[in-house]
Chains A and B, each alone.
Chain A
Amino acid sequence: MISIFGKITLSFQTFRTHKLRSFLTTLGIVIGVMTVIAILSLIEGLNRSVAEQIQSLGSDLIYLQKFTWVSTGHRDLEKLANRPDLIPDDAIAITKLASVEIAIPEINRRLTNLKYRDNEVASPTITGSDENFAWVNNHIVESGRDLSRDDVLHRRAVGIIGSYIASNLFPDESPLGKDIYVNGHRVKIIGVFKEKGTFLGNSLDNFLLIPNTLYEKFFPRERGSIFSRVYGGYSIDIKPRTGKVEQAIDEIRELMRRRHGLTFDEDDDYELNTQQVLLDLYQNLTNVGFIAIVAIAAISLVVGGIGIMNIMLVSVAERTREIGIRKAVGASNQNILSQFLIESVVLALVGGIIGILLGMLLAALISAVSPLKAAVSLWMIALGFGFSASVGIFFGIYPARKAATLNPIEALRYE
């Protein structure tokens, strides 16, 4: 049989004679593949940075809370609000579990601002926790000192600030030993955390850590709004022993059910959130992106495919005599079929390659002018190839069959 290479050079001959028309025909595929490659590489880039950032949040912590991070369907806030508050004693009990390295209580709220003389930072987070908070959450004290056991026990009015607060409230001086005011209460700064950067665009350094005992004094837990009853209480940050996440979850579940006096037929009245849950949530978001891509791809590939079918039908009509001559000298239906099929696949692939290149270019361009970082991987290029080749085959088969089944004499008579 004729070599594949021979057939491909044969089809390139035709493109040379119809340059402009071939180019216009592939435009649909070019645009489709380009868009898909650009969006995919942006999502992939986003995936990587989100994965990195979630990792940087703290490794594999389990968060025991009243609410779940991922809502499935509508959530009954009233029910969540009526769940028992979590308390620092829970952390002490959980720390004793075999598969848990340590558990700490953590409680947060957003302040309107923090001021020092003329300087101000807007909406910092204030965190109440204990002397283990920093290392459990991968915070490093850069200057000054960490919280101590005594700070917590004696409810000392001391705090450690994130680097964002440090550089904004104290641009020209050391924050150590300075007093700031929270809710009218004086807090002395004893340390500054090393910079952590941003997560999904938010600074991770705009926070103030104080002993949780002090936090309870500053913000007594009254029966507030339903939101504060759900979200305003303690979380327990649990660090499982390496490789023991599953066991830890089982043990915590058993312990908490016991502590809350739940009978076997009652549901859990707490949630165990992990970063996996966060990743899953993110995954759900990007799935929406993927659906959009599939839609764009489908539409543009159908448009491109119809274009290809059209040019191939024109080509078959134009070359009816050629087909007749080839069949008269011994070309089989199969030969003619593959000649035209290869032509439409090559046509589609040329569009696909241009689309891949333009898509990569577009991704690089977006990366250059925006904070989004695109990452093109091999599988996307393979996908682009696969896509366009399939379009070439799918939309080329009808014209190719039409050409292949022509009667030689009728084809020869064609003017």
Chain B
Amino acid sequence: MPRRICRAVNIKKMYYRGKMTVEALRGVDFTIHANDYLSIMGPSGSGKSTLVHILSCLDTPTSGEYFLEDRQVSKYTDQELARVRNEFFGFVFQNFSLLPRLSALDNVAMPLLYAGTKKNDRVVRAREILDKIGLGDRINHRPNEMSGGECQRVAIARSLINKPRVIFADEPTGNLDSRTGAEIMEIFDRLVDEGNTVVMVTHDSNVAAHAKKIVKLKDGMIEYD
């Protein structure tokens, strides 16, 4: 049995909108092991994004417990949560979420800035990863000078740079045409082959088919078959 990285127990997430309460997650259990390749599927509004945001510590649950290597995340300080986001998890967004004013290289190196890595090492490592992901000739381009596929590859490079335990991707091919999407999925496949752990949100069954295991979400709950 591979090592367990994190475990969520009975996670609930409520959004309050005036008098209305939206229950986005209604008691979800979720465990991630090393070298997992999971895909979370479900219709729009089923709570997929909410779940990966909580799992990646970008957001906090309304109730339930989340353990990172058996430590309760709710006990983490802001500073520790920042470190978790920086070193423990990488996140790839559907809309890339790159800083428009920074070059590909600076975007990729940004997590290292907050890790306190020296400038020279930052440049060397960012360049290395961009080379590996096939963007060695784009390092000085800004996001608006690159195609959607290239932007998403920059975003993947950024999520990888601190060698995270888990890479989360929320509909990473959602904004791309199918050919480019397939190229991106190849990258994730390769990453898992190299020993990385990937958790991917999608509502496209062709994309989900890449994963070793599919988790289905409906109305904020996991559907077990």
Contacts and interface: CB of A to CB of B under 8 A. Distances in A.
B53 A329 contact: no
A328 B91 contact: yes
A6 B158 CA distance: 20
Contact of B99 (A17, A325, A335, A408): A325
A2 interface: yes
B14 interface: no
Given A322-B99, A328-B58, A334 B86 contact: no
Contacts of B34: none
Interface string A314-349: 000000011011111111111100000000000000
A12 B98 CA distance: 20
Contacts of B83: 330, 332
Contact of A330 (B53, B98, B114): B114
Contact of A335 (B59, B82, B98, B119): B82
A409 interface: yes
B59 A407 contact: yes
B83 to A, nearest CB: 7
A56 interface: no
Nearest to B93: A412
B185 interface: no
A72 to B, nearest CB: 59
A334 B93 contact: no
Contacts of A331: 82, 86, 114
B124 interface: no
Interface string A1-37: 1100010000001000100000000000000000000
Contacts of A321: 97
**Majority SS of interface residues in chain A?**
helix
Interface residues of B, number: 25
A328 B114 contact: no
Interface in B92-118: 93, 97-99, 101, 110-111, 113-116
How many interface residues does chain A have, given as a range? 20 to 34
B160 to A, nearest CB: 12
Nearest to A333: B78
Given A335-B114, A407-B59, A409-B59, A329 B86 contact: yes
A330 B58 contact: no
Contacts of A329: 85-86, 91, 110-111, 114, 158
A13 B85 contact: no
Given A409-B59, A412-B93, A2 B116 contact: yes
Contacts of A412: 58, 93, 97
Contact of A332 (B79, B98, B99): B79
Contacts of B171: none
Interface in A397-415: 407-409, 412
B86 A330 contact: yes
B150 interface: no
A13, A325, A327 interface centre (most CB from chain B within 10 Å) = A325
Nearest to B87: A330
B85 A326 contact: no
Contact of A13 (B79, B87, B101, B116): B101
A326 B58 contact: no
Interface string A382-402: 000000000000000000000
A8 to B, nearest CB: 14
B99 A330 contact: no
Contacts of A330: 82-83, 85-87, 111, 114-115, 162
11 contacts: A2-B113, A2-B114, A324-B97, A325-B97, A328-B58, A329-B158, A330-B83, A330-B115, A332-B82, A335-B82, A335-B114
Q: Which 10 A-B pairs have the closest CB atoms?
A: A330-B86, A332-B82, A330-B114, A329-B111, A409-B59, A330-B85, A408-B58, A325-B97, A331-B114, A333-B78
Given A322-B99, A325-B97, A333-B78, 7 more contacts: A13-B101, A328-B91, A329-B111, A330-B83, A330-B115, A331-B114, A333-B79
Interface of A: 1-2, 6, 13, 17, 321-322, 324-335, 407-409, 412
